[in-house]
Chains A and B, each alone.
Chain A
């Protein structure tokens, strides 16, 4: 087979695999669901145009001679989108590195490894770009419908963002791998992905709190200070926004720049990526973590043994480390606001409560899945001389302990400022965590912890119920502080959501 034919054949194989993986993720592996999922996606995409209009509708009339503030807001929003795409790309690259499903077959075959890995890099870029285009489509459509077809050039900007983000993600992961080794790279890459994805938004929020005492990140972007530091109108920094507005030269520059970046990455790393990927999978086998000290077996009851095991596994879970870090990062802005409020007792302080309650619900949902559904030794626990109800109770206790440890540092200082608000926040955290845990319990399906990524597709109902309950309890907690009568209504509505979820769940004994 000639080199070109080989490349084309392998590219087709990669695209087919990526398509089937995506389809399986969307349908949770059930073929009969494909049509329903397709209809659901079309309806969802159509509905997404409404919130998209609310977010970007005001920029539809923007032209290339727009004022600097508008240019700053759109440019920073595009950079934010790029950071999120980069975060996703890093996640994809890490997965390719550490999944050896077809590695032995590929490496033992008589193909040029540099070609194979070039295609694999291109496939990552394609998948990342396709996802970015899909997610940004409602926003671009709204802008094109309301402001004119020149906005369709924004698709090109997003494509350039996807390609360049994939190139940077590959380079970053390879460099990490070569400097800190295979085992650390896995955790560090996940943590970096989180920081890149969330860090920029959070930094803007913190800046907004420090300057204007508001959680709105736009406050900084529309300030005079931002305008003063912004580059002149002819700067390359405005190319992305100009390209999105239909400037063909800027668009060509961005697209060709991103393609050159990807090409350079492929040329620089593809020949040795095979060795790195093999080392990553083999390295995980030979470089094993050692316990720091060997201590004697601990005394305790059976539930205590279970709780200790769950806590140890959570502590050693790289996904949980990155997710908890993300939750904690999102809690930094309210924490800064709390700290500011010690000096200036602002009414804005009330905003902390829903943020904290919402974060608690989301974190509890992930923790509950890991402890309740993600049991790697299900048979062992099931054959232990312990009632199933006691096992479940111990696992729920672990979720609540971790939530308590994570959120106490925020709720306790709040009590110094406002005891009623601290009590409402603590109750909200407890109820949101308990609700998310209950939903995971009602919809539990035995799985391996490594399947965590697919938890949200195994039951969309559970995912939506978890999100709605967290939002509902967050709103209820906020309203309990501002308009208590309305809080009763939102509380009852959230309870109704929980009841409906329980009714339609495959109720467990």
Chain B
């Protein structure tokens, strides 16, 4: 995992998407390499739509997306090669075992089979799935499936990992495993962008936090910067978030 520090891990400019109403409205966003970036916002704020456009799952109406210097709209295959997407609903096949699933993902990303197999086993073991390597996923709980999906996102060693509510449905132990893996990935130079409703996670893990409302980025900064937002000294991220969202709602 090598990244050029001068090139943003993600550069989004004027990103726009309309359904019945504007879901994302001229959004600008820069995420630096090696950063853990948390994207917060109320329901329907446009977080998932933004990330789905970045991941190449939705075509924007306007704007540009650049992943580590690769234009994701002009060269989607090139951009996809260096990133991974994990949604809140685990994207796995019930009839495959975790190892078979990771073999498939590694094959899709064109990774060396021997190296990916070693990575796959390490990942699954670190997520507490060592005893279930050769069991089909159909009998797994949602948390176990989510861990398999996360292992799938990491097995091809992406530079940018985008996660949409990855901790939904995970118990405390599993959530700790996942958070540990993501932090390890950031320490190794990878970039993580994550949406979450659990403000404590953003507070503890994120280097920077962006708050989105009405399809626009209404605030961005480190936790301390956000606490000082609007000249007020909020005691917690929750207070800041609620104040920001109230303000965003009024502005909208």
Contacts and interface: CB of A to CB of B under 8 A. Distances in A.
Contacts of A380: 85, 91-92, 105, 108, 149, 152
Given A306-B108, A381-B108, A284 B139 contact: yes
Given A285-B139, A286-B139, A379-B87, A312 B107 contact: no
B57 A382 contact: yes
29 contacts: A284-B139, A285-B140, A286-B139, A287-B139, A290-B134, A291-B97, A291-B100, A294-B99, A297-B114, A298-B103, A298-B113, A302-B108, A305-B104, A305-B106, A306-B108, A376-B91, A379-B91, A380-B91, A380-B105, A380-B108, A380-B152, A382-B56, A382-B57, A383-B55, A383-B83, A385-B108, A385-B110, A386-B77, A386-B108
A312 B95 contact: yes
Contacts of B78: 385
B92 A377 contact: yes
A297 B116 contact: yes
Contact of B93 (A284, A306, A376): A376
Given A288-B135, A306-B108, A312-B100, A384 B57 contact: no
A2 to B, nearest CB: 39
B136 interface: yes
Interface string A316-332: 11000000000000000
* Interface size, B (range): 35 or more
B109 A383 contact: no
Given A306-B104, A383-B83, 6 more contacts: A291-B134, A302-B107, A309-B93, A312-B100, A379-B55, A384-B108
Given A309-B96, A313-B96, A377 B91 contact: yes
A325 to B, nearest CB: 18
Interface in B114-147: 114, 116-117, 120, 132-136, 138-141
A376 B108 CA distance: 16
A383 B84 contact: yes
Interface of B: 55-57, 77-78, 80-81, 83-85, 87, 91-97, 99-100, 103-110, 113-114, 116-117, 120, 132-136, 138-141, 149, 152
Contacts of B80: 383-386
A305 B155 CA distance: 15
B153 to A, nearest CB: 9
Nearest to A388: B76
Nearest to A318: B95
B191 to A, nearest CB: 16
A383 B57 contact: yes
A312 B103 contact: no
Contacts, number: 115
A232 interface: no
A110 interface: no
Contacts of A301: 110
Contacts of B55: 379, 383
Interface of A is mostly: loop
A372 to B, nearest CB: 15
B56 A383 contact: yes
Given A297-B116, A378-B91, A379-B87, A384 B109 contact: yes
Nearest to A291: B134
Contacts of B140: 285, 288
Interface residues of A, number: 37
A317 B95 contact: yes
Nearest to A387: B77
Given A289-B136, A385-B80, A299 B113 contact: yes
Interface of A: 284-291, 294, 296-302, 304-306, 308-309, 312-313, 316-317, 376-387
Nearest to A289: B136
Contacts of B97: 290-291
B57 A379 contact: yes
Given A379-B87, A380-B105, A384-B108, A294 B134 contact: yes
A161 B97 CA distance: 43
A301 B109 CA distance: 9
A296 B152 CA distance: 17
A402 B138 CA distance: 24
Contacts of A385: 77-78, 80-81, 108-110
B110 A302 contact: yes
Nearest to A378: B91
A287 B139 CA distance: 7
A290 B138 CA distance: 11
Contacts of B116: 297
A284 B83 CA distance: 34
A382 to B, nearest CB: 5
A276 to B, nearest CB: 18
A305 B109 CA distance: 9
Contacts of A376: 91-94
A298 B132 CA distance: 20
Contacts of A287: 139
A165 to B, nearest CB: 30
Contacts of B138: 284, 288-289
A217 B163 CA distance: 60
The winner among B55, B136, B149 for most chain A CB atoms within 10 A is B136
A288 B136 contact: yes
The winner among A296, A305, A306 for most chain B CB atoms within 10 A is A305
Given A284-B138, A296-B114, A302-B108, A379 B99 contact: no
A313 B104 CA distance: 12
B207 to A, nearest CB: 24
B75 to A, nearest CB: 10
Given A298-B113, A385-B81, A305 B108 contact: yes
Nearest to B107: A305
B113 A296 contact: yes
The winner among A284, A286, A302, A386 for most chain B CB atoms within 10 A is A386
The winner among B95, B105, B106 for most chain A CB atoms within 10 A is B95
Nearest to A377: B91
A19 B121 CA distance: 48
Contacts of A291: 97, 99-100, 134
